[in-house]
Chains A and B, each alone.
Chain A
Protein backbone atom coordinates (compact mmCIF):
# COMPACT_ATOMS: atom_id res chain seq x y z
CA UNK A 1 0.00 0.00 0.00
CA UNK A 2 1.32 3.52 -0.76
CA UNK A 3 0.92 5.91 2.17
CA UNK A 4 1.13 9.35 0.61
CA UNK A 5 -1.65 10.91 2.63
CA UNK A 6 -2.95 12.33 -0.63
CA UNK A 7 -6.31 11.02 -1.76
CA UNK A 8 -5.61 11.95 -5.39
CA UNK A 9 -2.26 10.12 -5.35
CA UNK A 10 -3.84 7.11 -3.65
CA UNK A 11 -6.56 7.01 -6.27
CA UNK A 12 -3.99 7.27 -9.05
CA UNK A 13 -1.93 4.44 -7.50
CA UNK A 14 -5.06 2.34 -7.27
CA UNK A 15 -5.88 2.80 -10.96
CA UNK A 16 -2.30 1.94 -11.89
CA UNK A 17 -2.63 -1.28 -9.89
CA UNK A 18 -5.89 -2.09 -11.62
CA UNK A 19 -4.37 -1.36 -15.03
CA UNK A 20 -1.57 -3.78 -14.23
CA UNK A 21 -3.85 -6.50 -12.78
CA UNK A 22 -6.64 -6.51 -15.33
CA UNK A 23 -4.62 -7.89 -18.28
CA UNK A 24 -3.13 -10.60 -16.06
CA UNK A 25 -6.60 -11.57 -14.86
CA UNK A 26 -7.92 -11.45 -18.40
CA UNK A 27 -5.14 -13.66 -19.73
CA UNK A 28 -5.47 -16.09 -16.83
CA UNK A 29 -9.26 -16.32 -17.36
CA UNK A 30 -8.87 -16.83 -21.09
CA UNK A 31 -6.33 -19.62 -20.61
CA UNK A 32 -8.58 -21.50 -18.17
CA UNK A 33 -11.59 -21.01 -20.47
CA UNK A 34 -9.55 -22.35 -23.37
CA UNK A 35 -8.41 -25.37 -21.32
CA UNK A 36 -12.00 -26.07 -20.23
CA UNK A 37 -13.22 -25.87 -23.84
CA UNK A 38 -10.53 -28.21 -25.18
CA UNK A 39 -11.07 -30.71 -22.34
CA UNK A 40 -14.83 -30.80 -22.97
CA UNK A 41 -14.72 -31.04 -26.78
CA UNK A 42 -15.92 -27.50 -27.22
CA UNK A 43 -14.61 -25.31 -30.00
CA UNK A 44 -13.01 -22.36 -28.15
CA UNK A 45 -13.69 -20.07 -31.09
CA UNK A 46 -17.46 -20.49 -31.32
CA UNK A 47 -18.43 -22.39 -28.15
CA UNK A 48 -20.01 -25.26 -30.10
CA UNK A 49 -19.52 -28.98 -29.59
CA UNK A 50 -16.76 -30.02 -31.98
CA UNK A 51 -17.17 -33.80 -32.25
CA UNK A 52 -19.55 -35.61 -34.63
CA UNK A 53 -22.69 -37.14 -33.13
CA UNK A 54 -25.11 -39.66 -34.63
CA UNK A 55 -28.82 -40.43 -34.48
CA UNK A 56 -30.09 -43.96 -35.27
CA UNK A 57 -33.62 -44.17 -36.57
CA UNK A 58 -35.83 -45.62 -39.31
CA UNK A 59 -35.72 -44.71 -43.00
CA UNK A 60 -39.16 -43.17 -42.73
CA UNK A 61 -38.12 -40.91 -39.86
CA UNK A 62 -34.92 -39.96 -41.66
CA UNK A 63 -36.94 -38.86 -44.68
CA UNK A 64 -38.95 -36.52 -42.45
CA UNK A 65 -35.95 -35.27 -40.47
CA UNK A 66 -33.86 -34.50 -43.54
CA UNK A 67 -36.70 -32.44 -44.99
CA UNK A 68 -37.59 -30.67 -41.76
CA UNK A 69 -35.55 -30.93 -38.55
CA UNK A 70 -34.70 -33.34 -35.75
CA UNK A 71 -37.33 -32.94 -33.03
CA UNK A 72 -40.64 -31.21 -32.94
CA UNK A 73 -40.35 -28.14 -30.71
CA UNK A 74 -37.59 -26.55 -28.65
CA UNK A 75 -38.79 -28.63 -25.71
CA UNK A 76 -38.07 -31.83 -27.66
CA UNK A 77 -35.30 -34.18 -26.58
CA UNK A 78 -32.97 -35.39 -29.29
CA UNK A 79 -31.00 -38.57 -28.59
CA UNK A 80 -27.49 -38.61 -30.01
CA UNK A 81 -24.53 -40.92 -29.68
CA UNK A 82 -20.82 -40.43 -30.46
CA UNK A 83 -20.54 -43.93 -32.01
CA UNK A 84 -21.59 -44.07 -35.66
CA UNK A 85 -20.21 -47.55 -36.36
CA UNK A 86 -22.90 -49.69 -34.77
CA UNK A 87 -24.90 -52.23 -36.74
CA UNK A 88 -28.68 -51.75 -36.45
CA UNK A 89 -29.08 -54.60 -33.95
CA UNK A 90 -26.12 -53.36 -31.89
CA UNK A 91 -27.57 -49.84 -31.85
CA UNK A 92 -30.93 -51.21 -30.72
CA UNK A 93 -29.29 -53.08 -27.83
CA UNK A 94 -26.69 -50.51 -26.76
CA UNK A 95 -28.93 -47.48 -27.01
CA UNK A 96 -32.04 -49.23 -25.63
CA UNK A 97 -34.09 -48.32 -28.66
CA UNK A 98 -37.76 -49.30 -28.79
CA UNK A 99 -38.73 -52.25 -30.97
CA UNK A 100 -40.29 -50.00 -33.58
CA UNK A 101 -36.94 -48.26 -34.15
CA UNK A 102 -35.17 -50.54 -36.56
CA UNK A 103 -32.08 -48.29 -36.55
CA UNK A 104 -31.41 -49.10 -40.19
CA UNK A 105 -30.85 -45.43 -40.92
CA UNK A 106 -28.13 -43.20 -39.55
CA UNK A 107 -27.89 -39.43 -39.43
CA UNK A 108 -24.69 -37.52 -38.74
CA UNK A 109 -24.81 -34.27 -36.83
CA UNK A 110 -21.92 -32.19 -38.12
CA UNK A 111 -19.31 -31.00 -35.61
CA UNK A 112 -19.56 -27.32 -34.60
CA UNK A 113 -23.33 -27.28 -35.02
CA UNK A 114 -24.86 -27.19 -31.56
CA UNK A 115 -24.13 -25.57 -28.23
CA UNK A 116 -23.24 -27.99 -25.41
CA UNK A 117 -25.17 -25.88 -22.89
CA UNK A 118 -28.31 -27.49 -24.31
CA UNK A 119 -27.14 -31.01 -23.47
CA UNK A 120 -29.31 -32.05 -20.56
CA UNK A 121 -27.66 -35.44 -20.06
CA UNK A 122 -24.51 -37.27 -21.13
CA UNK A 123 -24.52 -40.82 -19.84
CA UNK A 124 -24.17 -44.52 -20.36
CA UNK A 125 -27.53 -45.85 -21.47
CA UNK A 126 -29.22 -47.73 -18.68
CA UNK A 127 -30.25 -51.29 -19.45
CA UNK A 128 -33.62 -52.93 -19.26
CA UNK A 129 -35.34 -50.07 -21.03
CA UNK A 130 -37.55 -51.61 -23.73
CA UNK A 131 -36.00 -54.94 -22.65
CA UNK A 132 -32.61 -53.90 -24.07
CA UNK A 133 -29.20 -54.27 -22.51
CA UNK A 134 -28.02 -50.68 -22.76
CA UNK A 135 -24.38 -49.78 -22.22
CA UNK A 136 -23.90 -47.40 -25.13
CA UNK A 137 -23.21 -43.72 -24.60
CA UNK A 138 -25.79 -41.07 -25.32
CA UNK A 139 -26.20 -37.33 -25.32
CA UNK A 140 -29.65 -35.91 -24.74
CA UNK A 141 -30.02 -32.53 -26.36
CA UNK A 142 -32.96 -30.28 -25.58
CA UNK A 143 -33.62 -28.35 -28.74
CA UNK A 144 -34.59 -29.07 -32.30
CA UNK A 145 -31.72 -29.48 -34.74
CA UNK A 146 -32.22 -27.90 -38.17
CA UNK A 147 -31.61 -30.15 -41.16
CA UNK A 148 -28.77 -27.93 -42.43
CA UNK A 149 -26.59 -29.44 -39.68
CA UNK A 150 -27.50 -33.04 -40.55
CA UNK A 151 -26.09 -35.48 -43.09
CA UNK A 152 -27.77 -38.77 -44.00
CA UNK A 153 -25.20 -41.53 -43.74
CA UNK A 154 -27.51 -44.43 -44.60
Chain B
Protein backbone atom coordinates (compact mmCIF):
# COMPACT_ATOMS: atom_id res chain seq x y z
CA UNK B 1 0.00 0.00 0.00
CA UNK B 2 1.40 3.35 -0.97
CA UNK B 3 0.15 6.92 -0.88
CA UNK B 4 1.35 9.25 -3.64
CA UNK B 5 0.58 12.96 -3.93
CA UNK B 6 -1.57 13.74 -6.97
CA UNK B 7 0.88 16.24 -8.48
CA UNK B 8 3.42 13.44 -8.93
CA UNK B 9 1.16 11.26 -11.08
CA UNK B 10 -1.29 13.71 -12.72
CA UNK B 11 -0.49 16.42 -15.27
CA UNK B 12 -3.30 18.63 -13.90
CA UNK B 13 -4.70 18.49 -10.38
CA UNK B 14 -7.23 21.35 -10.37
CA UNK B 15 -10.43 21.54 -12.38
CA UNK B 16 -12.60 24.61 -11.99
CA UNK B 17 -16.02 24.90 -13.61
CA UNK B 18 -15.89 28.50 -14.79
CA UNK B 19 -12.38 28.15 -16.21
CA UNK B 20 -12.57 24.64 -17.62
CA UNK B 21 -16.27 24.64 -18.52
CA UNK B 22 -15.94 25.04 -22.27
CA UNK B 23 -12.51 23.69 -23.00
CA UNK B 24 -12.64 20.28 -21.31
CA UNK B 25 -8.96 19.97 -20.45
CA UNK B 26 -7.62 16.58 -19.55
CA UNK B 27 -5.31 15.34 -16.89
CA UNK B 28 -2.93 12.59 -17.83
CA UNK B 29 -2.39 10.00 -15.13
CA UNK B 30 0.74 7.89 -15.19
CA UNK B 31 0.55 4.64 -13.26
CA UNK B 32 3.48 4.63 -10.79
CA UNK B 33 3.85 0.86 -11.17
CA UNK B 34 3.78 0.22 -14.94
CA UNK B 35 3.96 3.81 -16.36
CA UNK B 36 0.77 3.20 -18.33
CA UNK B 37 -1.01 6.47 -19.12
CA UNK B 38 -4.71 7.20 -18.63
CA UNK B 39 -6.64 10.33 -19.44
CA UNK B 40 -9.16 11.95 -17.06
CA UNK B 41 -11.38 14.95 -17.67
CA UNK B 42 -13.67 17.06 -15.51
CA UNK B 43 -16.71 14.92 -16.30
CA UNK B 44 -15.02 11.89 -14.72
CA UNK B 45 -14.63 13.76 -11.45
CA UNK B 46 -18.12 15.22 -11.70
CA UNK B 47 -19.56 11.72 -11.99
CA UNK B 48 -17.76 10.55 -8.87
CA UNK B 49 -18.24 13.72 -6.84
CA UNK B 50 -19.10 12.79 -3.20
CA UNK B 51 -18.97 9.17 -4.28
CA UNK B 52 -19.36 6.45 -1.65
CA UNK B 53 -19.42 3.42 -3.97
CA UNK B 54 -16.41 1.29 -4.79
CA UNK B 55 -15.64 -1.38 -7.37
CA UNK B 56 -13.09 -3.00 -5.06
CA UNK B 57 -13.71 -6.06 -2.96
CA UNK B 58 -14.71 -5.52 0.66
CA UNK B 59 -11.25 -6.64 1.75
CA UNK B 60 -9.47 -4.19 -0.55
CA UNK B 61 -11.73 -1.36 0.61
CA UNK B 62 -11.06 -2.17 4.26
CA UNK B 63 -7.31 -2.17 3.66
CA UNK B 64 -7.44 1.25 2.02
CA UNK B 65 -9.72 2.72 4.71
CA UNK B 66 -7.44 1.39 7.43
CA UNK B 67 -4.39 2.82 5.69
CA UNK B 68 -6.05 6.22 5.31
CA UNK B 69 -7.09 6.35 8.97
CA UNK B 70 -3.49 5.94 10.10
CA UNK B 71 -2.52 9.22 8.40
CA UNK B 72 -3.14 12.64 9.92
CA UNK B 73 -4.42 14.13 6.67
CA UNK B 74 -8.14 14.84 6.50
CA UNK B 75 -9.91 12.41 4.19
CA UNK B 76 -11.13 14.13 1.01
CA UNK B 77 -14.86 13.95 0.29
CA UNK B 78 -14.71 12.00 -3.01
CA UNK B 79 -12.85 9.16 -4.66
CA UNK B 80 -12.61 7.12 -7.87
CA UNK B 81 -11.56 3.48 -7.79
CA UNK B 82 -10.13 1.62 -10.75
CA UNK B 83 -7.75 -1.17 -11.68
CA UNK B 84 -4.87 -0.09 -13.89
CA UNK B 85 -5.73 -1.54 -17.33
CA UNK B 86 -2.15 -2.71 -17.84
CA UNK B 87 -0.78 -3.91 -14.49
CA UNK B 88 -4.15 -4.37 -12.76
CA UNK B 89 -3.05 -2.64 -9.57
CA UNK B 90 -6.03 -1.38 -7.50
CA UNK B 91 -5.87 2.42 -7.46
CA UNK B 92 -7.97 4.96 -5.60
CA UNK B 93 -7.85 8.66 -6.49
CA UNK B 94 -8.91 10.89 -3.62
CA UNK B 95 -10.19 14.32 -4.59
CA UNK B 96 -12.14 17.19 -3.05
CA UNK B 97 -15.31 18.42 -4.69
CA UNK B 98 -16.16 22.02 -3.77
CA UNK B 99 -18.55 24.78 -4.78
CA UNK B 100 -18.86 28.49 -4.10
CA UNK B 101 -18.03 31.89 -5.60
CA UNK B 102 -20.44 33.71 -7.93
CA UNK B 103 -20.78 30.40 -9.60
CA UNK B 104 -17.93 28.08 -9.56
CA UNK B 105 -16.82 24.88 -8.10
CA UNK B 106 -14.44 22.21 -9.02
CA UNK B 107 -12.38 19.23 -8.17
CA UNK B 108 -8.98 19.24 -6.55
CA UNK B 109 -7.02 16.01 -6.86
CA UNK B 110 -5.37 15.28 -3.51
CA UNK B 111 -3.55 11.94 -3.57
CA UNK B 112 -3.79 8.36 -4.77
CA UNK B 113 -3.54 5.09 -2.93
CA UNK B 114 -2.18 2.09 -4.78
CA UNK B 115 -2.48 -1.37 -3.36
CA UNK B 116 0.64 -2.81 -5.00
Contact = CB atoms under 8 A, between A and B. Distances in A.
Contacts of B103: 57-58, 61, 97-98, 100-101
B71 interface: no
Q: Which interface residue of A62, A98, A144 has the most chain B CB atoms within 10 A? A: A98
Contact of A79 (B102, B106, B108): B102
Contacts of A42: none
Interface in A52-110: 57-58, 60-65, 67-72, 76-79, 95-98, 100-101
B97 interface: yes
Given A61-B99, A79-B102, A98 B50 contact: no
A77 B77 contact: no
Contact of B100 (A67, A78, A100): A78
B61 interface: no
B102 A70 contact: no
Chain B interface size, under 10 / 10 to 19 / 20 to 34 / 35 or more: 10 to 19
Interface residues of A, number: 25
Nearest to A55: B100
Contact of A64 (B18, B21, B49, B101): B49
Contacts of A57: 99, 103
B101 A63 contact: no
A63 B99 CA distance: 9
Contacts of B49: 64
Q: Which interface residue of B17, B99, B106 has the most chain A CB atoms within 10 A? A: B99
A98 B100 contact: no
Interface string B73-116: 00001000000000000000000111111110110100000000
A71 B99 CA distance: 6
B99 A64 contact: yes
B36 to A, nearest CB: 31
A69 B88 CA distance: 36
A77 B50 contact: no
Given A67-B50, A77-B100, A96-B102, 7 more contacts: A64-B105, A65-B99, A67-B77, A68-B98, A70-B99, A72-B106, A100-B17
Interface of A: 57-58, 60-65, 67-72, 76-79, 95-98, 100-101, 144
